């Protein structure tokens, strides 16, 4: 099973409906909060993670207005490059709205990979804020367990297996905390409530 349409498919989903975008935000928000708790972060840090999780793809909403309704499900290479602007755009939008740095930086760097292969700045390791490393894992999982225009949602176990294949993208400490959270009844119930198949 290739991650070329797994972990990285978060880049190609600009044409999700607003409803899908909101439900993806809610999933990432809830998961990020739980992972923050698992990592023993403070209540304020966990709260900021929840806010950043909800808003992490807000930059796509602005991009959507340019390309939505006119395209097929797949984006071409130029458009992919364009979609990659969404994290920087989201950062700018939230900064303008007065959100704290903890939230704006998590949004700006939520597509950075721990091995330096992400964007926008190819940051490596701990140069990426912890909050963004947490969003990265939760976002990848949230995308895998959701339907996409070109594939059905993966079940939770398959999503976790796909993530293990691409674990080099993730902070191992965060990934292990996420794995633990993924086994909790609390998370399973939350996902079930949101229509994600267990």
Residue (of 107, 106, 114) closest to 170 by Cα position: 114
Percentages of the chain per state (helix, strand, coil), in multiples of 5: 65, 0, 35
Residue (of 79, 74, 81, 128) closest to 105 by Cα position: 128
Nearer to Fe ion, 45 or 57 (CB): 57
Residue with tokens 């965060």: 174
Contact region with Fe ion (CB under 5 A), list: 51-59, 91-99, 129-137, 162-170: 51-59
- Taking the complex as a whole, the smallest distance from the CB of residue 155 to Fe ion amounts, in Å, to 23
Element (H, E) at 80: helix 77-83
Nearer to Fe ion, 60 or 177 (CB): 60
Residue number with the shortest CB distance to Fe ion? 57
- Taking the complex as a whole, the smallest distance from the CB of residue 32 to Fe ion amounts, in Å, to 13
Quick check: 16 binds Fe ion (CB under 5 A)? no
Quick check: 45 binds Fe ion (CB under 5 A)? no
- Taking the complex as a whole, the smallest distance from the CB of residue 10 to Fe ion amounts, in Å, to 5
- Taking the complex as a whole, the smallest distance from the CB of residue 178 to Fe ion amounts, in Å, to 17
Contact region with Fe ion (CB under 5 A), list: 50-58, 69-77, 147-155, 182-190: 50-58
Q: Which 57-76 residues touch Fe ion, going by CB under 5 A? A: 57
DSSP type of residue 97: T
- Taking the complex as a whole, the smallest distance from the CB of residue 59 to Fe ion amounts, in Å, to 8
C-alpha 23/C-alpha 2 separation (Å) is 25
Nearer to Fe ion, 57 or 171 (CB): 57
Residues 6+ apart with CB under 8 A from 127: none
Quick check: 112 binds Fe ion (CB under 5 A)? no
C-alpha 14/C-alpha 75 separation (Å) is 9
**Contact set with Fe ion (CB under 5 A):** 57
């Amino acid at each position: 099973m290739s991650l070329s349409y797994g972990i990285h498919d978060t880049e190609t989903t600009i044409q999700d409906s607003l409803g899908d975008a909101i439900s993806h935000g809610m999933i990432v928000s809830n998961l990020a909060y739980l992972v923050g708790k698992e990592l023993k972060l403070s209540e304020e840090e966990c709260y900021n993670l929840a806010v950043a999780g909800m808003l992490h793809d807000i930059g796509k909403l602005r991009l959507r207005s340019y390309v939505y309704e006119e395209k097929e499900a797949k984006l071409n290479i130029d458009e992919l490059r364009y979609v990659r602007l969404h994290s920087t755009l989201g950062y700018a939008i939230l900064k303008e709205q007065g959100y704290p740095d903890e939230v704006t930086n998590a949004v700006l760097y939520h597509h950075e990979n721990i091995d330096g292969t992400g964007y926008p700045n190819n940051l490596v390791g701990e140069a990426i804020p912890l909050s963004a490393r947490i969003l990265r894992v939760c976002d990848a999982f949230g995308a895998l367990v959701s339907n996409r225009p070109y594939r059905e949602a993966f079940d939770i176990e398959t999503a976790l297996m796909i993530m293990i294949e691409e674990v080099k993208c993730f902070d191992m400490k965060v990934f292990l905390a996420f794995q633990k959270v993924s086994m909790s009844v609390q998370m399973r119930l939350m996902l079930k409530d949101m229509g994600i198949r267990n």
